[in-house]
Amino acid sequence: MDENTGRLFSQRELFRMAHDANGNSYLLKSIPPAKRRKQMDDNMHLMAGMEFEKGFPKLKPYTGTTDFHLVAYSDRKNCPSQLAALHFFLDDYRFRNAVWYNLERTTYSISGFSHMFTPDLSLWCNLQTEYYNLKNIYRTRFVGAYWSLCGFHVIPTASWGGLQSFSYCFLGLPSKSIIAVSAMGVRKNAAAFDLWLYGLNRLILEKSPILLLIYGEEFDIPQITTPVKFLSTFVTKHFRNEKSK
């Protein structure tokens, strides 16, 4: 019995029971193929139960533990899922198709993890159009909202592109939550670091996070009063450290 809801099965157990061993939905199997294809366009069949902010799915605040191992999606088969959080601070090609075009199957395959970071899809600076950035923000929020509905603990991730992205890049993020941010590559030059620091301050101003989880090597962040915790992956923390001994 789920201690939090008093129900016989938890939301995660109900999710697994509604899918076969390959992660295919039993409900969708019962729908004629032509109608099924229409319902599955851009994952619209998974939208039920979501809340939206100006067209972007809204994520719930995460205020739980951060005492977990960090496991990259690319390492998910080699690292234990117990007491681990799955992250997507990777090149997009390593996970984009899996988490969007095969969202249900992928969710079933990683359901041994209780904690998930929302996918960190790339945003770009100085594009002639904001279409790609808007699309990636929408998909990031959608996947996180879906995982939350499936009963997983979802840690929101924030990202931004150029200055024009600040009109939408934080839509759907919760206030007063733990929020994760990647710091990979932000110190390659002064301009990149200034933009990253500006975005971090905007995030703090608009969403008042209770803790920032920074993915990357530890460094001093000037003028930040919000508590910060730097993250290292399971592979870095355990295997690479063993090789250096």
Task: State the pLDDT at residue 204.
Answer: 98
The answer to whether position 78 is within a domain reads: yes
CB-CB contact of 2 with 9 (8 Å): yes
The answer to whether position 32 is within a domain reads: no
Task: State the pLDDT at residue 16.
Answer: 76
Task: State the pLDDT at residue 242.
Answer: 46
CB-CB contact of 105 with 22 (8 Å): yes
The answer to whether position 164 is within a domain reads: yes
CB-CB contact of 124 with 161 (8 Å): yes
Q: Rounded to the nearest 10 degrees, how much is the dihedral formed by the CA atoms of 159, 165, 170, 172?
A: -110
Query: Which structural domain range is residue 166 located in?
Result: 51-244
pTM for the whole thing? 0.85
The per-residue pLDDT string of the chain (245 residues; one tens digit each, 9 = 90 and over) reads 455 555 677 777 787 777 887 777 777 777 777 666 666 678 988 998 999 999 999 999 999 999 988 999 999 988 877 779 999 999 999 999 999 999 999 999 999 998 999 999 999 998 889 999 999 999 999 999 999 999 999 999 999 999 999 999 999 999 999 999 999 989 889 999 999 999 999 999 999 999 999 999 889 999 899 999 999 765 555 555 444 44
Encoding tokens for residue 97? 């198709």
Task: State the pLDDT at residue 37.
Answer: 64
The answer to whether position 46 is within a domain reads: no
The answer to whether position 34 is within a domain reads: no
The answer to whether position 14 is within a domain reads: no
Task: State the pLDDT at residue 202.
Answer: 97
- Cβ burial of 28 (10 Å; 0-12, 13-18, 19+) is middle
Task: State the pLDDT at residue 35.
Answer: 64
Task: State the pLDDT at residue 69.
Answer: 87
Task: State the pLDDT at residue 243.
Answer: 45
The answer to whether position 76 is within a domain reads: yes
The answer to whether position 9 is within a domain reads: no
Integer Cα distance of 173 and 141 in angstroms? 8
Task: State the pLDDT at residue 1.
Answer: 47
CB-CB contact of 107 with 146 (8 Å): yes
Into how many domains does the chain fold?
Answer: 1
